[in-house]
Amino acid sequence: MRIQKIVSLTLLAVMSSQVGCLSLSNMGLGPFGVPVPVSPYFQDNEEMQFHVHERYARVPIMGPLTQGGPVAAIDPPSDDEVIHALERARPIRGGVPFLYEKQRNRVRIVKEKIADYIDDPRFVPLIGFAQLHHAHYKCTVYFEERTINGWPVPYTLEDKESVEVVYIDHNHFHMCGDPDTGASSPY
């Protein structure tokens, strides 16, 4: 009877180890074969860093300026870019629900161009001769800030007239002369 019990428990252990994430096939990886839960905060943080890098951290290279053509800067900063810059300057993310939270409500953004100028042509590695076009913007963000504290004494603070100013620089290169991009090369 005792041998039957040992055999049935061993058979049950082998069968249960083949179900789900913890199968015997994953044990060859050692401790890396066991899945580890990751907080959504870290995943969201990685995605946000990639989003900012992909959209705003690169300097575009435009074609050459034409004689008598417009020399105005490219588009002003988007609302998304302004909010990301405001988050870097004064973050509100990472609160704990029901204990401490901050919110920005009724956001209004006013963008003003404060400078727009072009540097003299110079040699830039990996680009060739180019001119750097600078555009500086002053972005004023009007919002209502709400602070919710849930412990030890619950209370809510509301600032109906919050104002923050963010300065954003948009720089991009203009190639000089007749650039050979290599796109039409037969080789």
pLDDT at 186: 54
Please state the separation of Cα 92 from the chain's center in Å: 15
For residue 86, how many other CB atoms are within 10 A of its CB? 20
Contact 157, 124 (CB under 8 A): no
**Residue 62 pLDDT > 90, yes or no?**
no
SS (H, E, C) 28-71: HHHHHHCCCCCCHHHHHHHHHHHHHHHHHCCCCEECCCCCCCCC
- Domain residues of the chain, as ranges? 73-177
Residue with tokens 């919710």: 148
pTM of the complete model: 0.69
pLDDT digit string, tens, across residues 122-176: 999 988 899 999 999 999 999 999 999 988 899 999 999 999 999 999 888 988 8
Residues 6+ apart with CB under 8 A from 127: 61, 173, 175
Residues 6+ apart with CB under 8 A from 185: none
Extract the tokens encoding 93: 């993310």
Longest Cα–Cα distance of the chain, Å, equals 99
Extract the tokens encoding 131: 């001119």
**Residue 22 pLDDT > 60, yes or no?**
no
Residues 6+ apart with CB under 8 A from 134: 73, 115, 116, 117, 118, 119, 169, 170, 171
pLDDT at 26: 55
**Poorest-pLDDT segment among 42-51, 164-173, 177-186:** 177-186
pLDDT at 40: 85
Overall average pLDDT of the 36-65 stretch: 85
Give percent of the chain above pLDDT 90: 37
pLDDT at 134: 93
Compute, in degrees rounded to 10, the torsion defined by CA atoms 34, 40, 45, 46. 40
